[in-house]
Amino acid sequence: MDQGDNDWWRHGVFYQIYPRSFQDSNADGVGDIRGIIERLPYLKALGINAVWLSPIFPSPMADFGYDISDYTGIDPLFGTMADFDALVSAAHENGLKLILDLVPNHTPDQHPWFIESKSSRDSPKRDWYIWRDGKPDGGPPNDWLSEFGGSGWEYHDATGQYYYHAFLAQQPDLNWRNPDVREAIYEVMRFWLRKGVDGFRVDVIWPLIKDAEFRDNPPNPNYHKGRILTQYSTDRPEVHEIIAEMRRVTEEFGSRVLIGEIHLPLHRLVAYYGNDLAGAHMPFNFALLSTLWRARSIERIIADYEKALPIGAWPNWVLGNHDRPRVASRVGQEQARVAAMLLLTLRGTPTLYYGDEIGKHQVAIAPDQVQDPFEKNVPGIGVDRDGCRTPMQWDATLHAGFSTVTPWLPLADDFVRRNVVNLEADTKSILSPYKALIATRRKLPQLVTGPISRSQRRAISCFIDEMVPQGRPLLH
């Protein structure tokens, strides 16, 4: 890929690395930046174009890095700033773009901003977070819930107010109505862009700004999907102005990319391209993660998405990530190949999740080995995010070549057979179609850019029908 190519993010294949689990280089059982550098030749040979790293910044790790206590540092667990600079150079030398995770919705409660904010009601940083008085009966200001279970409001004794947290109580939400908060995060973006990173995947971008009046969320008629809707705590109209500002910051540095994590129905999702496409270059499209694995459902999703896309908006597709069960377990090993075929032949930008190319499956985690705070908060309902975050399986040696010591999460039990070395030697393995398809995308740009005609759509649907005669519902 030509580094000067402005459209690189349109015709590239993106690959998400969960750094804790990719490659350990210093024998502590946790992956790190040097480990990623060691594995760049593998990524280059796979044929991908861009690597997105889940957070590597200093963090108390209550949510494994999605709680950043220093936005412009590197957590010693992952290495040093010199290691990071070496990674940027090495990635670029290998023709790979590097995308960072940006987590602007919340900080940990140990961030200096929050420590200052909670110090008094008069603190200059009080308004950097969302503080409200309780109801007259002392209860929380409204009915908003935490994604990770329970109320979204935490009472702070010392100052007698509640603060809002969309996730853990240790992850207070920043107040994006405050211009100083915005500028502080935009400066963080500039810091990394100056270092040469090629863009950001912005974590939970759609709940960034909350209802100005803090209205109660309405009850959810579809109760099993949550007791209340998130009408006033997420997806507010003002969010688009912020995303356009973020886009302008990325554009100060030339051709960089802004990707948004957005979990919304398709017709709402596409609004995140922004007015005149001035929003996110790619609002992540997770439709394939939750559809029934049936030909007709998949066909409908492709058609609905294509129809909903604003003119000129660039499509993208995701099959797996660090929050959802592995595709090989959702649809089965055979169908995982079909899923790869689908992902890599749909027009638009595909994002792979590390290990899906070797058919990594969801690993069952014993209750006493659970690490994920979400699973700990609401155990046993199938959240289970550890199961898709287990170490990469490189070879058949002890600890799968991931580490020389016991890894932070258990390895999949089939790693002796299912590992990169073995699968590379086996032309019938799932890795072969992955490589072949990625290579084919390079050779046949129509695959990447071509509009999908009605007859092609029908052909895709017949193809899937043949491959999925019975249809299989997804597990999650």
Give residues in contact with ligand GLC (CB under 6 A). 63, 66, 103, 167, 203-204, 261, 322-323
The residues annotated with a catalytic role in the active site are 203, 252
Q: How far is the CB of 103 from ligand GLC (least distance, A)?
A: 6
Residue nearest to ligand GLC (CB): 66
Task: Return the structure tokens found at 454.
Answer: 């009605």
Beta-carbon contacts of 77 under 8 Å, excluding residues fewer than 6 positions away, are 28, 30, 32, 61
By beta-carbon proximity to ligand GLC, the closer residue of 204 and 336 is 204
Spatial separation of the C-alpha atoms in residues 143 and 152, rounded to whole Å:
8
By beta-carbon proximity to ligand GLC, the closer residue of 18 and 186 is 18
Q: How far is the CB of 459 from ligand GLC (least distance, A)?
A: 34
For tokens 């439709």, name the residue: 287
Is residue 353 within 8 Å of residue 319, measured between CB atoms?
yes
Q: How far is the CB of 465 from ligand GLC (least distance, A)?
A: 33
Spatial separation of the C-alpha atoms in residues 283 and 158, rounded to whole Å:
40
Q: How far is the CB of 66 from ligand GLC (least distance, A)?
A: 3
By beta-carbon proximity to ligand GLC, the closer residue of 161 and 234 is 234
By beta-carbon proximity to ligand GLC, the closer residue of 235 and 299 is 235
Q: How far is the CB of 167 from ligand GLC (least distance, A)?
A: 4
By beta-carbon proximity to ligand GLC, the closer residue of 383 and 438 is 383
Q: How many CB atoms lie within 10 A of CB 346?
A: 21
Beta-carbon contacts of 381 under 8 Å, excluding residues fewer than 6 positions away, are none
100 bridge partner residues: 53, 200
Q: Which of 107, 18, 22, 83 is nearest to 372 (CA)?
A: 18
Q: Which of 315, 346, 246, 257 is nearest to 5 (CA)?
A: 257
Spatial separation of the C-alpha atoms in residues 394 and 36, rounded to whole Å:
13
Residue 74, Cβ density class (10 Å: 0-12 exposed, 13-18 middle, ≥19 buried): buried
Long-range contacts of 34-38 (CB under 8 A, 24+ apart): 34/79, 34/83, 36/87, 37/83, 37/86, 37/87, 37/90
Is residue 211 within 8 Å of residue 239, measured between CB atoms?
no
Q: How far is the CB of 56 from ligand GLC (least distance, A)?
A: 14
By beta-carbon proximity to ligand GLC, the closer residue of 193 and 383 is 383
